[in-house]
Every structure is written in structure tokens, then in C-alpha cells.
Chains A and B, each alone.
Chain A
């Protein structure tokens, strides 16, 4: 397993698209930051060029991370079937569960590294360019990110499973959005009309992030429980399909 993860990290660190993805995320965030700073510079009545607004706005926008995940997974591993590279590992005796879990661990590690880089650029730059409203808002953002980690990882296990059970990138991404967003939206409608226990909605990571569920009593523990539930279900489905697949 360690060798597999090491080889995947070796590959991803030598693949240009990994860096393009990081640059795109940074570019988007820095563009928004720059726009806020520039507007504040030219408009004395502009009230939002401060870290209080930017960090709180980022906090409430954390749910968008869930929508970046399937694209990220696709960039990292999405075309394994297309390249046919699975067959080499299998032919040389690599167990399929090692491949499945190895790639999952790698995607967690790469996502973590990218997040650290993004935050290390974004937070100091925001504090440098904008009016500093004090450390409370920065801590608020970091805490929200910290508590969202199990929910991000839960979403990542879904995207990961889909990259193993379907070969086409469009199918992977569409299925992800149906499972993670469309079903939740429909259930919310049903809940509004006929009523439904809140527990059903709490099975969806985006619902939990939007509701800042970790602030509820035992909320943080519940979020970690959701991660284990997602991990268990997706690993069973993903591995069962991957075991039977001809590659």
C-alpha cells in the first residue's frame, strides 16, 4: 500500500495538470480578493474590503468545495480506464483493493496539500490587502474548514467510487451531482410539502455544511460518523464493481 501511494504521489507531482488545477483554484480566489481590494480602493463607500466580510463570506461559501471535488478527482485519476494503466498494476500482482484504497489515500493527501497551499496564500494576502478586522474572523474560517473536513472527505469518497465504477468523465461528474446535489434538492422540496424527518437531510454533506451542523450538540461527532458511513458504503460498492470489471 505504501509503495502504491508513493508511486501515485510521484506521478501526480510530475503531472502538469495537478499544478494547473492548483493554479486555477488560486487564480479564482485571488481574482475575487483582488476585485474586492480594487473596488475598496476606488470606492470610499464600499463596505466589504475587510477581512471580516471576506472570511465570513468564504465560510458560507465552503459548500462550493463539494462541487470542485468531482472535477479534482477527475483530473487526478479520471482517465485511468482510458489510458489502460490499471492493467499494468493488476498484471504485476497489485491487489485491486490496494489500487482502490491507495488512490483514495493519495487523493486525500493531494487535496490536503493543495488546501494548505491555498490557505497559506489566501489568508495572509487577504490580511495584507484588506482592512484587518481582527483574528476572530480568521479563526472562524479556519474552524469552519476544520469541522467541514469529514464532510469534504465524505464527498470525496463518492467521487472516488464513481471514478472506479464508470469510465467516462461526464458520467462520473453527472452522477456525482445527481447523488450529492439533485437528490438533496428534491428531498428538500418533498420535506417542505409533506414533511420528512430531518435525519434524512442530515445524510447529505452539503446540507450539513450549509446548516453548520458541527455547531449543534454532538454535531462534530455526527459529521465524522457521516464520513465513516460514506466511506463504508462507497468502498463496498466501488470495490465490488472494480473486482468484477475487466480492465
Chain B
């Protein structure tokens, strides 16, 4: 059985009448990088805040490293968290802020602050007061704090926010390195799926407080394969032909008589011939690729239609 690092069972959060998170079940296996994707206000931060203990669940259970209930506080020592804005004392320097938490966490090794400052390329500005940090550097300092105690699980809420393109690449490289070399399990959120594409092993799409889809990255890549876009004079009639004559099922009819065919079977070779035989005029036909973003929008679009 796989080593489960994090598990939630029917975890939910309500603020009066507003449901920020509907009952949610997720499982993170050791060593995975789980991407939580959703538009702003979808419930990503709420889920992460609940896991981090920053807010109390309305119902449900959280298991961290196989511990639940009152034992959670003890095992939270094995996590590194950066949820929403990095929070530090504005009047203290970056180094003093980290030193404050080093003392608080009881980390004996005094050099650990220097190590994370170096790792996050913050040495040059470590003496500056936190209030003078740029958004990107605040994010870096937040990540430095998350790494201070060599965690086994990292919970990062949009850590790439505010970073310049170079910082963005460096951050992803660092996270991959931490995952591969130190086997750190990572839960990372973003509102842009493509941003996490090269990083994550599993993705969960969250929308309006509901986890609407969970899939492995390999499955997602399969879904984002090439498809055929067909524009005809009568999409209804064409759809019937696709069903009955060509036995194609993986297609979707869009407005303005556009059909997307996601299947790449032998029947595709006879597509134009069959449609012509049934007096359906093909206005255009082209091969396209469904991007991660298209898939994501399609997913949340379907959910909104529901």
C-alpha cells in the first residue's frame, strides 16, 4: 500500500451561509507533487488553510502522516507552509524574521537560516526590513521559512505569484530538486494550469468550492492530445453521421456548426468522404491541439453549465 502523507475525508468549510469548500476527499502519496488548480476564489486557499490548521473545518477529517485530531499539531512540525501572502514582521529584517522562527521551532542548528537564505538567493537582501521587500522577494522569504525545518510535506499556495520569469523558472527547478533529491511531497496551487505543467504528477481541479476532477498528469496529457476541428453547414446532421456511420463517440458540438473530434481512429480517414456522401458541406477542417488551459476552461465551463 502506498505511503499516504495527507488525506482529507469529507472536509468542508462554511462561513455562515456561504460554502467555501464542499465536502472534499483528497489523498497525497509520498513523493508526489499535487497541483491544485482553480480560478480565484475557487476554494484552493481555503483547503490549504484547513490543512495547515489556520482555520477550523465545519466538518470532515484531516490526516497528516497518519495522524488526526489532537495529534495533528504535533505532526504539523513536519510540514512547510506558504498560504496566501507571506506573513512576517515588517519592522524586522528578513534574516531576523527567519531567526525568530528558528528559535520558536527549536531548531538547534544556527546555520539553517543561512542555508535557506542561500538556497532562495536572499543573502544580499537578508539585512533589509521585510516591509521593503518586493512581492517576489516576500514570496521567496515565505518559501525560505517553509523550508527552514527540512519538511516532509510542502503546502504552497500560488508560490510563483509575483516572481519574474527567471525567478519562476528557478522556483520550479528548486521544487523539483526538493522533490526528487529529498523526496519532499508537495501540494502546490495555481490559477494557471500551464504554470504547473512541468512540475506536478497529479492534478486536482477545484471550482466553486468543489473538487471537480482529479487525474494523473499522464491522463491529463492524453486528454490534451490533438483533435480535429470541423466546420460544417449542419452540425446536427453531421453529429448523427459521426455517431451512426463512423461510430465516433469522442466529439463535442460547439456553436456555429463547429465540431471537435477527439478520437483518432481509422474512421477519420473517411471523414470528409462520408460527410460529402450525406450532403454535408465541409467549410473547414483542421488539426488542432487542446492546451492544458483549454482543457481546464472546458472543465470548469462544463461545471458552470451544470
Contact B89 A247 (CB under 8 A): no
Within 8 Å CB of B183, what residues of A?
none
Q: Which parts of A228-247 form the interface with B (CB within 8 Å)?
A: 244, 246-247
Contact A11 B83 (CB under 8 A): no
The answer to whether residues A92 and B103 also contact, given A15-B89, A83-B90, A85-B87 and a CB cut-off of 8 A, is no
Summarize A's interface: helix, strand, loop or mixed: helix
The answer to whether B264 has its CB under 8 Å from any CB of chain A is no
Give the interface size class of chain B: 20 to 34
Inter-chain CA distance A145–B103, complex, in Å, is 34
The answer to whether residues A3 and B103 also contact, given A87-B83, A90-B54 and a CB cut-off of 8 A, is yes
Within 8 Å CB of A83, what residues of B?
87-90
Tell which of B79, B88, B90, B91 touches A91, judged by Cβ atoms closer than 8 Å. B79
**Please, what's the 1-or-0 string for B244-268, where 1 marks a CB less than 8 Å from any CB in chain A?**
0000000000000000000000000
Contact A11 B149 (CB under 8 A): no
Residue ranges of A at the interface with B (Cβ–Cβ < 8 Å): 3-4, 6-7, 10-11, 14-17, 83-85, 87-95, 244, 246-247
Of B53, B73, B84, B104, chain A has the most CB atoms within 10 Å of the CB of B104
The answer to whether residues A92 and B88 also contact, given A4-B104, A246-B55 and a CB cut-off of 8 A, is no
Query: What are 29 A-B contacts defined by CB distance under 8 Å?
Result: A3-B103, A3-B104, A6-B103, A7-B100, A7-B103, A10-B100, A11-B96, A15-B89, A83-B90, A84-B84, A84-B85, A84-B87, A85-B87, A85-B88, A87-B54, A88-B81, A88-B88, A88-B101, A89-B101, A89-B104, A90-B53, A91-B79, A91-B83, A92-B81, A92-B101, A92-B104, A92-B149, A246-B54, A246-B55
Within 8 Å CB of B92, what residues of A?
11, 14-15
The answer to whether B128 has its CB under 8 Å from any CB of chain A is no
Inter-chain CA distance A84–B145, complex, in Å, is 14
Inter-chain CA distance A177–B43, complex, in Å, is 40
The answer to whether residues A95 and B52 also contact, given A11-B89, A17-B91 and a CB cut-off of 8 A, is no
Given contacts A88-B81, A246-B55, 18 further A-B contacts (CB under 8 A): A3-B103, A3-B104, A3-B106, A6-B104, A11-B89, A11-B92, A11-B96, A83-B89, A87-B54, A88-B87, A89-B101, A90-B54, A91-B83, A92-B81, A92-B149, A93-B75, A93-B77, A246-B54
Inter-chain CA distance A10–B101, complex, in Å, is 10
**Smallest Cβ distance from B11 to chain A, in angstroms?**
15
The answer to whether B271 has its CB under 8 Å from any CB of chain A is no
Tell which of B85, B91, B99 touches A15, judged by Cβ atoms closer than 8 Å. B91
Contact A7 B77 (CB under 8 A): no
**Smallest Cβ distance from B164 to chain A, in angstroms?**
24
The answer to whether B56 has its CB under 8 Å from any CB of chain A is yes
Tell which of A11, A87, A95 touches B100, judged by Cβ atoms closer than 8 Å. A11
Contact B89 A93 (CB under 8 A): no
Inter-chain CA distance A3–B107, complex, in Å, is 10
Within 8 Å CB of B104, what residues of A?
3-4, 6-7, 89, 92, 94
The answer to whether B76 has its CB under 8 Å from any CB of chain A is yes
Contact A92 B100 (CB under 8 A): no
**Smallest Cβ distance from B286 to chain A, in angstroms?**
50
Within 8 Å CB of A89, what residues of B?
101, 104
- Chain B residue at smallest Cβ distance from A99: B104
Inter-chain CA distance A94–B76, complex, in Å, is 8
**Smallest Cβ distance from B44 to chain A, in angstroms?**
16
Contact B103 A10 (CB under 8 A): yes
Inter-chain CA distance A89–B149, complex, in Å, is 13
Inter-chain CA distance A161–B52, complex, in Å, is 24
**Smallest Cβ distance from B209 to chain A, in angstroms?**
16
Within 8 Å CB of B96, what residues of A?
10-11, 14
Inter-chain CA distance A164–B76, complex, in Å, is 22
Q: Which parts of B61-93 form the interface with A (CB within 8 Å)?
A: 73-77, 79, 81, 83-85, 87-92
Contact B56 A244 (CB under 8 A): yes
The answer to whether B285 has its CB under 8 Å from any CB of chain A is no
Q: Which parts of B141-191 form the interface with A (CB within 8 Å)?
A: 145, 149
